[in-house]
């Protein structure tokens, strides 16, 4: 009884979907279908080793190191691999940079090609048919739906990922971040900002 109460307290902050996942995981483990250690290793891989944190480190380094930024422009695959971020669906990388005059966003119109080593698993909306079609036909409106409102003078370029090439957006560095460390800058970079459907966070938003 005490153990049950303890578990309830630990999981009280979880959403309904997360609670269902935990319950399903418990059943599978109980029946011996899955190994808890294997699940932990998989979660760690996608949360720490393969995921948006990796891409954020690439962006932060590009913001602070001009030499690395040039290397990214010339050979993104090699530059990203130099930080240890390699793997399937990350073999042929290209970076595109947002500026005050141009905003980039990424889509895969055929399926859901996505740079797993630097962004982790693709969000559900990235794989949806509405996003895949509307991002190309009306990118400005799609961005507005994500809360990104750009000046009419800003050009929007949409890049179509394929089995051969995958893209990583380098968002604009927020103002007021001079002197911040790479680690602190990486905290401002979100998965969506590296797809182009969001902007990097402002420092004050992290306080």
Q: Give me the catalytic one of 113, 161, 193, 198.
A: 113
Same domain, 107 and 137: yes
Q: Is 161 a catalytic residue?
A: no
Q: Is 113 a catalytic residue?
A: yes
Same domain, 36 and 112: no
Q: For the segment 132-180, what is each residue's pLDDT rounded down to a tens digit?
A: 999 999 999 999 999 999 999 999 999 999 888 999 999 999 999 999 9
- Distances in Å between the Cα of 55 and the Cα atoms of 16, 25, 188, 202, 203 are 29, 29, 12, 18, 18
Q: Which residues of the chain have pLDDT under 70?
A: 1-18, 21, 39-50, 87, 89-90, 205-207
pLDDT on residue 164: 85
What's the number of domains the chain is made of?
2
**Separation between Cα atoms, residue 192 and residue 194, nearest integer Å:** 5
Same domain, 153 and 174: yes
Same domain, 11 and 94: no
Range(s) of the domain holding residue 44: 2-48
Same domain, 113 and 175: yes
- What token pair was written down for 127? 């794989």
Same domain, 122 and 41: no
Same domain, 99 and 31: no
> Domain holding 99: CATH number?
3.90.330.10
pLDDT on residue 43: 63
Match 């979100």 to its residue by tokens.
190
Same domain, 42 and 67: no
Same domain, 42 and 104: no
Same domain, 30 and 131: no
Q: Is 198 a catalytic residue?
A: no
> Over pLDDT 90: what percentage of the chain?
62
Q: Give me the catalytic one of 26, 100, 111, 181.
A: 111
Are 189 and 60 in contact, with CB atoms under 8 Å apart? yes
What is the secondary structure of the chain as a DSSP string?
Answer: -HHHHHHHHHHTTS-HHHHHHHHHHHHHHHTTSS-HHHHHHHHHIIIIISSHHHHHHHHHHHHH-HHHHHHHHH-HHHHHHTTT---TT-SSEEEEE--SSEEEEEE-SSS----HHHH-SPPHHHHSHHHHHHHHH-HHHHHHHTT----TTSEEEEEE--SS-EEEEEPPPPTT-TT--HHHHHTT--HHHHHTSS-PPPGGGG-
**Separation between Cα atoms, residue 96 and residue 167, nearest integer Å:** 7
Same domain, 26 and 62: no
Same domain, 22 and 123: no
């Amino acid at each position: 009884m005490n153990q049950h109460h303890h578990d309830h307290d630990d999981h009280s902050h979880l959403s309904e979907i997360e609670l269902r996942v935990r319950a399903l995981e418990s059943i599978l483990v109980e029946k011996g279908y899955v190994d808890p250690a294997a699940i932990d290793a998989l979660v760690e891989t996608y949360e720490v080793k393969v995921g948006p944190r990796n891409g954020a480190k690439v962006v932060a380094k590009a913001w602070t190191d001009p030499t690395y930024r040039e290397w990214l422009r010339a050979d993104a695959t090699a530059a990203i691999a130099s930080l240890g971020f390699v793997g399937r669906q990350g073999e042929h990388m290209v970076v595109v940079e947002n500026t005050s005059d141009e905003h980039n966003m990424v889509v895969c119109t055929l399926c859901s090609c996505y740079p797993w080593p630097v962004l982790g698993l693709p969000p559900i909306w990235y794989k949806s048919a509405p996003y895949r079609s509307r991002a190309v036909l009306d990118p400005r409106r799609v961005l507005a739906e994500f809360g990104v409102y750009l000046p009419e003078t800003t050009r929007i370029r949409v890049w179509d990922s394929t089995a051969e090439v995958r893209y990583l957006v380098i968002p604009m560095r927020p103002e007021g971040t001079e002197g911040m460390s790479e680690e602190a800058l990486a905290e401002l970079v979100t998965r969506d900002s590296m797809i182009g459907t969001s902007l990097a966070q402002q420092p004050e938003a992290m306080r």
